[in-house]
Chain A
Amino acid sequence: MQTITIHVNGKKVRGTIDERMLLIEFIRDVANLTGTHAGCWEARCGACAVELDGNTVKSCNVLAVQADGCSVFTVESLSQQRLKPVEHVTTQSLAGVYTPLQAIGSSAADLHPLQKAFHTCHALQCGFCTPGMLMVLKGFLAENPSPTREEVRMAIAGNICRCTGYQHIVDAAMMAAETLRAAGP
């Protein structure tokens, strides 16, 4: 057993763990963030991709101890989770009388441009591969802000999607690239 510390999405997470624990298990079971998915445990499908010290890695093929002291960002880091008014749909009789409670969450407005583009382009169906796709594309677009469609395809060649045929994913990546370019560095 070893005690390690990993900064997950900016928060310090300490755990005393079996050396066999993989980074993905640390993220899911110690940091309690289950958005990072395990689709194969063999470093192929890419659903487990996260950012480790600025590089995208497959977290099912990295030991947690390898990441000791490092900084990890997961899909949960992409859009801000913040307190915001509960959506209040009973607009008619009570509207305006009470102020809605605050609850934690992301709204469509908080989405990262990649998430927004995935939503707009219908780039996800079952959603299982999506976190990995988003994390890989985030790293890729930072490196190559004006990619061609072929370059996008190459960038996600380590991420398997069985639902979409990839077409809408490439569409979304191109749309997000444009948004990110317009927003500037």
Chain B
Amino acid sequence: MDVDYANKLVGQSVPRTEDLALLTGTARYIDDIRMPGMIYAKVLRSTHAHAHFKLDVSRARTMPGVLGVLTGAELVGKVKPWGDLMQDLLVGDHFAFAIDKVCYEGQEIAAVVAETKYQAMDALEAIDIEYDPLPVVLEADKAILPDAPLLHPNFNYEFGEGNIFDRYRVRIGDIERAEAEADLVVRQRFSSNRQAGAALDPHGCVASYDSFSGMLTLYSSTQSLFMVRDVLADSLQLARNRVRVVAPEVGAGFGSKAQVFAHEVIASIFSLQTGRPVHLVLSRAEVFRVGTARNGQIRHVEMFFKKDGKITGYRDYVIQNSGGSSYWGNQVVHIGTNVGMLPYPVPNIHIDGDIVHTNTAPGGALRGFGIPQINWAKEQLMDIAASELGLDPAHIRDINIVRGDQCPLVTPFGQKVDTTSIDSCLAKAVEVIGWHDKRANKRPYEGVGMSLGMKYTSCRHPSFDTDLSAIRLRLETDGTVTIFSSDVNHGQGHATFLAQIVSDVLGVGFEKIVLAPPDSSNAPFGLGTYASRAAAVLGTACRMAAERLREKIVAIAAHVLEVDAGDLEAGGDRIYVKGLSNTGLYLENLAGYSVYRTHQLPPGFEPTLEATATYDTPTDREAPDGSGNFSVTYAGGCHIAHVRVDPGTGHITILDYVMVHDTGTVINPLIVEGQHQGGFLMGLGMAFGEDYVYDSEGHLLTATFAEYKAPLATDVPELHHLFEIPAPSTTIPGGQKGAGESGTGPVCAALGNAVAHATGVRFTTLPITADRMLLALREKERSGLEIFRYPDDMPDYDGPRGYEDWPKPTGGEGEMFF
């Protein structure tokens, strides 16, 4: 009997293998690690947003149980500042502690390590600190003013000065001509909020230095082993092969754990000094204050159109608030703006950006990485233009988007769109929501709004010229397979989808495949899990490694069976001659030959059955004019929201929400569904509630889940209108596209457009909270305006209301910033 092993796992909703430990409570997260002799560190953090300070830790050193106290001053000249390890990743503006001046509330000032947590907390209270407060600047457009308080007077930036630590510039086509020849110009200033990843598992680590071997092991709740290892080793001036970073189970990150943090350096120093394992897990308030937040943007956007609705140009001056320090801030503007321009191949683009420091929480990577911010501006301007031209919002998009049948296509901005179904996604979403009916028969306080977005699938960061991930596979001597990877699973289901790929390629049983825990000392070098790269980039490395391993396995089989390798197939845990699936050699036998019976191997065959593959995406570096193809392929989708606004309370109910996505070839549909739903949640939070609210002195008022409005189950609509129209990537060998972030990008604008349709109130700032909504409705009634912009048309708004008041870009016209 011949069994058909062609029934592949890729494409099936295989329940995840990682679930069992997570469901039964046996999985170990960072705070679950217990080591003999483990001691506890706590950090003293600034209670001021901007201040000089003087410190006396002598009392703390004598407190019961205290084993060590650290301050910034004593580390100067011993610990290297970081931030400049990778090209363009800023100057060395990160350090374990502030030395004599703090630039944001929560910044590290000192730390204590003690036998117990309580002793460490008691000792923190015994540190005497005297602040000398400085004036604060909290908003990006205030930070660029000449009289603004200066955060980092001692740093010299390559492309900035003062609080502007980097600039961004795009010059594509001829924008003056586009403006002169335009039939319609629409302009609006849009601002976006700060948002936290607020992964439920707080940032934290356990550092353990072995004084005998000189090996420092850092267990850390991180998304990227090697980014942490290399920066940590560099900072502490340790050999990189003596720093080992291990990720336990990681309770999500959303980008907020994709960098090294001061607490990782502090715990490591304490462990080096005491020889004991040091536990340092942050509290929720600490995570809010220093665990990084989405970069807030003010975008002054102008778009140029012909009468028929064709976009001819896009001009923008972006001022980005990257907080008191920022590891990823400038990249967010580069990548978010470039990719965020899709799905429109705009011929003339002119963008200036100032990326600034303010006395607020550090700006970091967060799901969407700049795309939600530009989408919020651009997709609302599309609706404004449609309304000015008397066109349907669906139509004006339809005539401008990249279409599937035009692909592969290179846009004027340099993006190589290998495939897309965004045009079909739009059509499908329009049909499912009943768009035309809901537009034609509008009910009071109800409205529909849409947004289109495309999303990178991983990215070649302009800051560091690489976009790689790697997999090593080993066929064990019992026929099982071990996968080694340094890209940390933190909810994406690596153990499952990688095993699906391996099982298909090697014909090995799914249940026989295990993903080794991520450990930098034995995993191949990869960049980490972020930027929607797991399935596509790591998945490709996995496919390549599996194919290499298969080739080796088949070579042994061909030699032993004395047949041509081309006549062999893999399946059912064996290698067999085509058509004879119940014969052949078991993988365990072949693996046995490869290590124990090496005389059975073909002549010249290098023993053992391991294969490693590294996949670096075929993507571009950023060109001087800002153009380039940073992403290997582009996922995308169309979102349409149907909302109802309560005119008595301002509460917004989402009656229906349709998402139609192109995620290419989907490895595991159930996982991808989960990614889209989770991506939506983060977009919803950004749209309707999550925000970093500060008082006038720079104290964060939303540093608890009580105040920080993370959406609850009762705030999220049913998300069953979720569809995939796959346009498999032709660049990625398996056809995958990134799934992690296409659910997030379009949400704010889709909801903003729906609210505008429902009420005539056009929000130009985020989030759209009930209080803002209600007051805008009341003010709109008073003003008699048909279209009311919030906050621009509110009586107490003190920012620029129109184009003539907009600030002009800083920096000389001749310069290029890359």
Direct touching of A and B (C-beta under 8 Å): yes
A45 touches B19 (CB 8 A): no
B23 in contact with A115 (CB, 8 Å): yes
Within 8 A of A (CB), among B184-205: 197-202
Interface size of B by CB at 8 A reads 66
The B715-729 residues at the A interface (CB cut-off 8 A) are 716, 718-720
Cβ A75 vs Cβ B588 within 8 A? no
Q: Kindly state the separation between the CA atoms of A83 and B220 in the bound complex, as whole angstroms.
A: 32
- Nearest-CB distance from A86 to chain B (Å)? 13
Closest residue of B by beta carbon distance from A111: B23
| In the assembled complex, A124 has its CB within 8 A of some CB on chain B | yes
Known A126-B251, A168-B673; 9 more pairs at CB < 8 Å: A47-B200, A74-B25, A75-B23, A89-B511, A93-B589, A118-B19, A122-B671, A126-B201, A165-B719
Quick one: which of A35, A108, A159 has the most chain B CB within 10 A? A35
Q: Mark B18-57, 1 if CB is under 8 A from A, else 0.
A: 1111111111110110000000000000000000000000
Check: B670 CB closer than 8 A to any chain A CB.
yes
CB-contact partner of A90 in B31, B479, B713, under 8 A: B479
- The interface residues of chain A lying within 8 Å CB-to-CB of B586 are 92-93
B154 in contact (CB, < 8 A)? no
CB-CB under 8 A for A92 and B588, given A20-B118, A165-B678: yes
Chain B residues contacting A79 (CB-CB under 8 Å) are 23-24
B383 within 8 A of A: no
Which listed segment binds A: B303-311, B464-472, B703-711? B703-711
**CB of A42 closer than 8 Å to a CB of B:** yes
> A93 CA to B477 CA in the complex, in Å?
12
A176 to B662, CA, bound (A): 31
Closest beta carbon of chain A to B569's beta carbon, Å: 17
Leading 3 A-B pairs by shortest Cβ distance = A35-B25, A127-B22, A128-B251
Q: Known: A39-B284, A89-B480, A157-B713. Is A128-B20 also a contact (CB below 8 A)?
A: no
Interface residues as binary, B690-716 with A (CB distance below 8 Å gives 1, 0 otherwise): 000000000000001110001011101
A41 touching B284, Cβ below 8 Å: yes
0 or 1 for each of A60-88: is its CB under 8 Å from B? (1 = yes): 00000000000000111011010000010
Residue B501 lies at the interface, judged by CB distance under 8 Å to chain A: no
Residues of A within 8 A of B16 (CB): 119, 122
Within the assembled complex, what's the spacing in Å between the Cα atoms of A154 and B29?
28
| Known A-B contacts A40-B704, A90-B478; A126 and B25 likewise in contact (beta carbons under 8 Å) | no
A142 interfacial contact with B, CB 8 Å: no
Residue contact B588 to A90, C-beta cutoff 8 Å: yes
Whether the Cβ atoms of B23 and A168 lie closer than 8 Å is: no
Contact, CB under 8 Å: A34 / B28: yes
A129 at the interface (CB under 8 A from B): yes
Interchain nearest-CB distance for B721 vs A (Å): 11
A127, closest chain B residue (CB): B22
Given contacts A20-B118, A160-B705, contact A76 B24 (CB under 8 A): yes
Q: Does A7 contact B (CB under 8 A)?
A: no
Q: A76-B25, A165-B677, A170-B713 given as contacts; is B200 within 8 A of A92 (CB)?
A: no
* Minimum CB distance partner of A32 in chain B: B34
Q: Which residues of B contact A128 (CB under 8 A)?
A: 29, 199-201, 251-252
The answer, among A18, A34, A35, A126, for a CB contact under 8 Å with B491, is A126
Q: Are A78 and B24 in contact (CB under 8 A)?
A: yes
Residue of chain B at shortest CB distance from A171: B720
- Check B270 for interface membership: any CB of A closer than 8 A: no
* Any A CB within 8 A of the CB of B396: no
Assess A163 versus B713: contact at CB under 8 Å? Given A126-B201, A126-B250, A168-B677.
no
Within A111-132, which residues are at the interface with B (CB < 8 Å)?
Answer: 111, 115, 118-122, 124-131
Contact with A along B668-693 (1 / 0, CB 8 A): 00110110011111100000000000
Asked if residues A149 and B479 are in contact (CB atoms below 8 Å), the reply is: no
Q: Is A144 in contact with chain B by the CB < 8 A criterion?
A: no
B442 within 8 A of A: no
CA A106 – CA B682 in complex, angstroms? 33
In this assembly, does A161 line the interface, its C-beta being within 8 Å of a C-beta of chain B? yes
Nearest residue (CB) in B for A156 is B713
B97: chain A residues within 8 A (beta carbon): none
With A40-B284, A157-B713, A166-B713 as contacts: A126 and B718 at CB distance below 8 Å = no
CB neighbours (8 Å) of B451 from chain A are none
Most chain B beta carbons < 10 A, residue from A44, A125, A170: A125
B25 touches A92 (CB 8 A): no
Docked pose: A74 CA to B673 CA in angstroms = 29
- Chain A 94-105 against B: per-residue CB contact (8 Å), 1 yes, 0 no? 000000000000
- Is the CB–CB distance between B200 and A162 below 8 Å? yes
| Interface pair B714/A125, CB less than 8 Å apart | no
25 contacts between A and B (CB under 8 A): A34-B32, A35-B25, A35-B27, A36-B25, A75-B25, A87-B511, A93-B586, A108-B20, A111-B24, A119-B20, A121-B670, A122-B13, A122-B674, A126-B252, A127-B27, A129-B200, A131-B25, A134-B23, A153-B716, A156-B713, A160-B710, A162-B198, A164-B674, A166-B677, A169-B713
A122-B16, A127-B249 are known contacts. Are A33 and B29 too (CB-CB below 8 A)?
A: no
- Nearest A residue to B672 via CB reads A122
Whether B492 is near chain A, meaning CB under 8 Å from some CB there, is yes
Assuming the A-B contacts A38-B31, A118-B19, A119-B16, are A162 and B199 also in contact, with contact meaning beta carbons closer than 8 angstroms in the complex?
yes
CA distance A108 to B674 in the complex (A): 21
Contact present for B478 and A89 (CB under 8 Å): yes
B37 to chain A, nearest CB (A): 15
Tell me the residues in window 58-91 of chain B with beta carbons closer than 8 Å to chain A beta carbons: none
Is A33 a contact of B25 with CB atoms below 8 Å? yes
Q: Are B718 and A124 in contact (CB under 8 A)?
A: no
Q: Which residues of B contact A138 (CB under 8 A)?
A: none
Q: How far is the CB of A42 from chain B (nearest CB, A)?
A: 6
Q: Is A55 an interface residue (CB 8 A)?
A: no
Q: Does B139 contact A (CB under 8 A)?
A: no
Say yes or no: is B283 at the interface (Cβ < 8 Å to chain A): yes
Q: How far is the CB of B13 from chain A (nearest CB, A)?
A: 8
User: Within 8 Å CB of B32, what residues of A?
Assistant: 28, 34
A92-B479 in contact (CB<8A): yes
Please tell me if the beta carbons of A89 and B201 are within 8 angstroms of each other in the complex: no
In the bound complex, residues from chain A placing their C-beta under 8 Å from that of B800 are none
Say whether B142 faces chain A, with CB atoms less than 8 Å apart: no
A48 to B688, CA, bound (A): 27
CA gap between A126 and B529 in the complex, in Å: 13
Query: Are B24 and A164 in contact, CB atoms less than 8 angstroms apart?
Result: no
For chain A, residues 127 to 148, give those with C-beta under 8 angstroms from any C-beta of chain B.
Answer: 127-131, 134
- Which of B27, B250, B704 contacts A42, CB < 8 Å? B704
Q: Does B446 make an interface contact (CB < 8 A)?
A: no
B490 within 8 A of partner (CB) = yes
> Known: A157-B714, A162-B197. Contact between A34 and B25, CB under 8 A?
yes
Q: Which residue of A lies closest to B27 (CB)?
A: A127
The closest CB in chain B to the CB of A25 belongs to B117
Cα distance A92–B28 in the bound complex, in angstroms: 33
B714 touches A37 (CB 8 A): no
Task: Tell me whether B509 is interfacial, beta carbon within 8 Å.
Answer: yes
B15 at the interface (CB under 8 A from A): yes
Tell me the bound Cα distance from A67 to B25 in angstroms: 21
A153 touches B25 (CB 8 A): no
User: Is B578 part of the binding interface, using a Cβ–Cβ cutoff of 8 Å?
Assistant: no
Which A residue sits closest to B685, measured CB to CB? A162
- Give, as a whole number of angstroms, the nearest-CB distance from B441 to chain A: 27
The reply on A167 being an interface residue by CB < 8 A is yes
A-side contacts of B252, CB under 8 Å: 125-126, 128, 162-163
Contacting pair A122 B673 (CB below 8 A)? yes
A165 touches B29 (CB 8 A): no
